[in-house]
Amino acid sequence: MNNAVDISPNSTDINVSLWLKFKSGDAVAFGELSQMHYRTLYNYATKFSSDSEFIRDCIQELYLELWERRTFLSETAFVKSYLLKALRHKLIKESVRLKRFKEPKELLFDADGSDLSIESRIIENEHLKHQIKRLNSIIARLSKRQQEIIYLRFYQNLENEDISHVMNLGRQSVSNLLYRTIKEIKEIWMPAEFFWVLLSILLY
Amino acid sequence: MIDYSKYTVEEFATDEHFRQWILDPSEETVVFWDNWIKQNPDKQSTINQAIELLLTVYERYKDDLTDEQVEQDISLLVELAEAQIGNSRLSIFINPLLKIAAVLVLISGLSWFFYSQNLRDKNVAMVNVEMITKTNHADNEMTVLLSDGSVATLMKGGSLRFPNKFEGESRKVYLKGEAFFDVAKNPAKPFLVFANETVTKVLGTSFLIKAVDTESTVMVVVKTGKVSVYPEKDYATLSEKNDREVAGVILSPNQQVVFNRKDSRLEKGIVENPDMLILSTTSQELVFDDQPVAEVLRTLGEMYGIEIVFDKETLAGCPISTIFKEETLKQRMNAICQAIGATYEVVDGQIIINSKGCLR
């Protein structure tokens, strides 16, 4: 199992010389730029399709389009949220073309994490494992939209403004949805946490 | 320094420094946060929740992309990008003088290339590479296994010439007629199909080529992955100059290109009839429910008309359950081997299964 995590920050500061090389048609520089958010994009796409080959084709196509238009591009083209949004479009377009979905206009965030197996080395603590399983089942019961916003906020670590861009929502809707979602999670999550503290006090 | 003492669960969980501590800890972050928690014991529960939230999200949404795959994809991307540069550069020759100059360069390059190519071919032939030719005279499709694990399915009347072992920097095969290819991925060693004045270049994918001698066109249709198609004479200049100033066409899944042999023109389009990519005998649905793997292998072997060699004793009592629909032989072999923890290789047109017994 792969433990590599993408914690690349959302910063826009691409190395200037790399950028100039890319603009002048240096394919290796292009490869380096593409690599920066490759994992991020792949991970995001797996929430919409389980076909790894299809996903990798879509990402490839997305990047090649950037390559073709390189002389007209500004540096924002390689910003995480822009890429995520473009990939989302691409996935819809390609699915329609290959007739993968019956409902072409809609792309559902459908990450299936219901049978969570925790393999990470970092999680040794049994209590923590238990808590994670619990929280996971709470997230699983949220609506697709709520799950996506949790994913974008806490996995991809996007700001509200970037989320509104990716999900095509107004900024206010994003903060409302996020607020409501976190509140919903807390309502179930917190009492149990409290219960646990109580239990541990009684035990010791 | 940031004042973390008023941070909420969400703020911790989205703080870059905090995330680094949890997801990719360094000595610096560990020391910092251990200290911070000691100094702020009242925030322990908030911290715990932030940790739980972060880890849950990471466990829930993790993927199985390996570093090798990323590397492969990026190098393919770089390769395709370089190929495209060739495309756009050609359009620079609008100036008629430049055009003439280009033609002259092309002609001299070509003649030099053919000359040296002839020499090189002769040299290669001496390095004990044996060329094998398989021709399908039967009505059914014929499966041909290549030494790198790639699979070619020859349609009736099709004929394929290939080396018993792929030496050198590329994998070259020569096709007459119609065949479906499922190529083993190896970006370092591109797979080249020469067919009626065209060259199709791939790095690992599946696609169909129809190059019947008596027909005036050559057709290439892609099922998965990406391939580039060149007129053969252009491809020659390309490999000689070690550059890619040649107009090739890049194809994606369900796209096709038709090469007009008369005027050496490539025309790209979308596949109107995707069914042609589904092979008749091998696309029947196969259901194996808790069947001994030996039986599954025997069925596949019969179906493709190839020999699958395995040790009956080590594989005894390895039941598998699977449903096959449209997979290629390679995908099927991979699925089976993965299920029983085995590997396979192709030797002399046979598939050899290496297994140390079942996983379970």
Does B360 reside within a domain?
A: no
Instruction: Give the number of other CB atoms < 10 A from CB of residue B46.
Output: 16
Q: End of a domain among B72, B102, B127?
A: B127
The pLDDT-based confidence of A18 (bands split at 50, 70, 90) is: confident
The Cα-based distances of B215 to B105, B178, B270 in angstroms read 32, 11, 21
Does B119 reside within a domain?
A: yes
Q: Residue B269: which CATH number?
A: 2.60.120.1440
Test A182 with B10 for CB contact under 8 angstroms. yes
Range of the domain at B21: 4-127
Judged by a CB distance cut-off of 8 A, whether residue B92 touches chain A is no
Whether B94 and A81 have beta carbons less than 8 Å apart is answered as: no
| B271 and B135 in a common domain | yes
| B271 and B136 in a common domain | yes
| B222 and B173 in a common domain | yes
| B271 and B138 in a common domain | yes
Highest mean pLDDT among A156-165, B75-84, B200-209, B233-242: A156-165
Judged by a CB distance cut-off of 8 A, whether residue B223 touches chain A is no
The pLDDT-based confidence of B79 (bands split at 50, 70, 90) is: confident
Nearest-neighbour CA in chain B from A91: distance (Å)? 14
What are the chain B neighbours of A57 within 8 Å (beta carbons)?
Answer: 224-226, 252-253
| B137 and B117 in a common domain | no
Class of domain A12-97 (CATH, top level): mainly alpha
What are the chain A neighbours of B20 within 8 Å (beta carbons)?
Answer: 7
| B272 and B290 in a common domain | no
**pLDDT by residue (tens digit) across A110-165?**
766 545 555 554 555 677 788 888 888 888 888 888 999 999 999 999 999 999 98
Architecture of domain A118-202: Orthogonal Bundle (1.10)
Test A53 with B224 for CB contact under 8 angstroms. yes
Test B85 with A136 for CB contact under 8 angstroms. no
Does B27 reside within a domain?
A: yes
Does B250 reside within a domain?
A: yes
Is a pLDDT exceeding 80 seen at residue A96?
A: no
| B234 and B262 in a common domain | yes
Mean pLDDT of B249-256: 76
Least confident of B60-69, B159-168, B342-351: B342-351
| B209 and B141 in a common domain | yes
When computed from its CA atoms, the radius of gyration of chain B, rounded to whole angstroms, is: 27
* CA nearest to A132 within chain B: B56
The pLDDT-based confidence of A194 (bands split at 50, 70, 90) is: low
Least confident of A94-98, B136-140, B158-162, B315-319: A94-98
Judged by a CB distance cut-off of 8 A, whether residue B283 touches chain A is no
Interface test mutation site (partner B, options A60, A78, A174, max chain B beta carbons within 10 A): A60
- Kindly report the pTM of this predicted structure: 0.53
Question: What are the domain boundaries of chain A?
Answer: 12-97, 118-202
| B292 and B252 in a common domain | no
Judged by a CB distance cut-off of 8 A, whether residue B42 touches chain A is no
Q: End of a domain among B222, B256, B277?
A: B277
Q: Could you give the CA distance from residue A53 to residue A114 in angstroms, rounded to a whole number?
A: 23
| B268 and B145 in a common domain | yes
Picking from B17, B58, B20, B65, the residue whose alpha carbon sits closest to that of residue A7 is B20
The pLDDT, as a whole number, for residue A164 is 92
| B147 and B118 in a common domain | no
Does B104 reside within a domain?
A: yes
What are the chain A neighbours of B89 within 8 Å (beta carbons)?
Answer: none
ipTM: 0.79
Test A120 with B74 for CB contact under 8 angstroms. no
What are the chain A neighbours of B10 within 8 Å (beta carbons)?
Answer: 153, 182
The pLDDT-based confidence of A4 (bands split at 50, 70, 90) is: very low
Does B166 reside within a domain?
A: yes
Structural domains counted in chain B = 3
Test B22 with A122 for CB contact under 8 angstroms. yes
**pLDDT by residue (tens digit) across B93-124?**
445 556 666 666 677 777 776 666 665 554 44
Q: End of a domain among B127, B156, B183?
A: B127
